[in-house]
Amino acid sequence: MTVKSIISLGLKANLTVLAYIQCILAIFEIWGANWIVSNKEYFHDFKVLFPFWITISHFALQTLLLLICVKYVSESLSARNILLVPWTLIQIIAAIFFASISIFYIYQGSRYVLDNRTLILIGIIAIFTLFQSVLSINILVAAYAYYNKKESKPKNE
């Protein structure tokens, strides 16, 4: 194996590891969002902190990320190249969405929340959504590096 093939294999493995991490995080975030919706009594200003459009968008995006990550890790290496394009497009949407709702949670929490318990829960939610945004950016960088290495391969004629 040459150094370039080892680097290429490492980048593919990195994307696979990131896909597993995103699958696990999506499962926890879907569970967490479900817990929040079913335990509204913990949040005094539930409708202010979690508007309907954010809740539905969060469920939909996490479910989409979970489905495409499971599909990505279950396919062969050649099929993963095909899935990488829609996965990276979804990552762009996810990075923007999760970063913006993290800021929204922090802003709404600091503006409306008066008790410490709710503020801690909002902080945990904001940290998880911010981590999801950072993970999406990391996946985008790894996918870009993978494509960059793939295109720079010398062609044997």
> Do 48 and 108 contact (CB within 8 A), yes or no?
yes
Determine the pLDDT at residue 2: 65
Q: Which tokens go with 19?
A: 């896909």
pLDDT in tens, 84-140: 888 888 888 888 888 888 888 888 777 777 778 777 887 888 888 888 888 888 888
> Do 144 and 136 contact (CB within 8 A), yes or no?
no
Determine the pLDDT at residue 152: 62
Look at residue 155 and tell me whether its pLDDT is greater than 70. no
In percent, the amount of the chain with pLDDT more than 70 equals 84
Confidence class for position 151, pLDDT limits 50, 70, 90: low
pLDDT in tens, 14-35: 777 888 888 888 888 888 888 8
CA dist 102 and 87 (Å) reads: 22
pLDDT in tens, 35-88: 888 877 777 677 777 788 888 888 888 888 888 888 888 877 777 777 888 888
Determine the pLDDT at residue 8: 63
Confidence class for position 153, pLDDT limits 50, 70, 90: low
> Do 69 and 22 contact (CB within 8 A), yes or no?
yes
In what helix (H) or strand (E) does residue 154 lie, and over which residues does it extend?
none
